[in-house]
């Protein structure tokens, strides 16, 4: 007798979700994109787009935060077919890191080889300004948890995956070149992920600076770790929506984060459109 796969394992649940997406959206995509707070508009301009609400993908949790529409949109960008997460799941919403990263598992099973992670972040480095774009060169996982904790399924990847080049150097070069061609400033920096949802204190920001962080946010790192586990290459870009706590003498407000995302939308969208066909 052949053994039936257990439908409850993470792999089987991710396969089930991938089958559902494939049945609704057709052909596989090679590039996927996760859009952060205030950056969701990119998904509205895809060619021949099929949009699937997160609630209709089996195994997906529901996004609760303002500024996240919560749809998986598959469509065309300059001849390339992309799967776009319009919104994401965050640790601070109360989801487990397995739930936060489940979409990346599904995307990897859909044949995605390149993943672009975008986010809204606070700027620590003095060369960053509100509205700057930062290319993520590396990260600090300060979530106090790792999405790969627990039993490892070798069908996804190895038990102890290498993290010495999470953000693909070749992709970084492409992003820098395309930013240059577009006349957009794009500096490399280290992204620190904290659990949130409270913003940092000025003392925490001083600590993060001492640790080598250039920007701080509440996402991206779990997805990047899971993508690398599955052998998916990663490009990360932060939109600096505000200067981090204590840098300027004013409080940080979520509305400011969303507004800045919307203000740089055209620049960000243009850069993504240039980069995607090159990956
Ligand atoms: N801190 C953490 N996360 C953020 C910030 C911030 O200043 N801005 C946008 N996301």
For the chain, domain boundaries: 10-278
pLDDT given at position 28: 78
Which residues, 6 or more positions from 96, have their beta carbon under 8 angstroms from its beta carbon?
Answer: none
252 lines ligand 1 (CB under 6 A): yes
Find the catalytic residue in 63, 125, 219, 238.
Answer: 219
Residue 37 a catalytic site member: yes
Name the band, by pLDDT with cuts 50, 70 and 90, for residue 208.
Answer: very high
Name the band, by pLDDT with cuts 50, 70 and 90, for residue 123.
Answer: very high
pLDDT given at position 5: 65
pLDDT of residue 241 exceeding 60, the answer is yes
Whose alpha carbon is nearest atom 2 of ligand 1? 217
Mean pLDDT of 124-151: 96
Rounded to the nearest whole angstrom, what is the distance from the C-alpha of residue 156 to the centroid of ligand 1? 31
CATH of domain 10-278: 3.40.50.1580
Residue 199 a catalytic site member: no
Atom of ligand 1 nearest to the CA of 243: 7
Give the Cα separation of 45 and 26 in Å (integer): 18
Give the Cα separation of 260 and 277 in Å (integer): 26
pLDDT given at position 4: 66
Instruction: Read off φ and ψ for residue 150, nearest 5 degrees.
Output: 110, -175
């Amino acid at each position: 007798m052949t053994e039936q796969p257990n439908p409850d394992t993470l792999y089987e649940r991710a396969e089930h979700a991938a089958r559902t997406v494939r049945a609704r959206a057709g052909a596989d995509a090679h590039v996927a994109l996760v859009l952060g707070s205030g950056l969701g508009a990119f998904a509205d301009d895809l060619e021949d787009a099929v949009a699937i609400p997160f609630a209709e993908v089996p195994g997906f949790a529901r996004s609760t935060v303002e500024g996240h529409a919560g749809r998986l949109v598959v469509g065309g960008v300059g001849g390339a077919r992309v799967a776009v997460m319009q919104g994401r799941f965050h640790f601070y919403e109360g989801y487990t890191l397995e739930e936060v990263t489940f979409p990346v598992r599904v995307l990897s099973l859909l044949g995605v080889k390149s993943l672009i992670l975008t986010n809204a972040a606070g700027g620590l480095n003095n060369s960053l300004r509100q509205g700057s774009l930062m290319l993520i060169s590396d990260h600090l996982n300060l979530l106090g948890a790792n999405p790969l904790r627990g039993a490892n399924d070798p069908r996804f990847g190895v038990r102890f995956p290498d993290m010495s080049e999470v953000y693909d150097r070749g992709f970084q070069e492409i992003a820098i070149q395309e930013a240059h061609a577009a006349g957009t400033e794009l500096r490399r920096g280290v992204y620190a992920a904290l659990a949130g949802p409270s913003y940092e204190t000025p003392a925490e920001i001083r600590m993060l600076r001492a640790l080598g962080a250039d920007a701080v946010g509440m996402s991206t790192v779990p997805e990047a770790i899971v993508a690398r586990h599955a052998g998916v290459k990663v490009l990360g870009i932060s939109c600096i929506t505000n200067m981090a706590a204590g840098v300027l003498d004013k409080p940080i407000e979520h509305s400011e984060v969303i507004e800045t995302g919307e203000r740089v939308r055209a620049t960000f969208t243009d850069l993504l459109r240039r980069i995607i066909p090159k990956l």
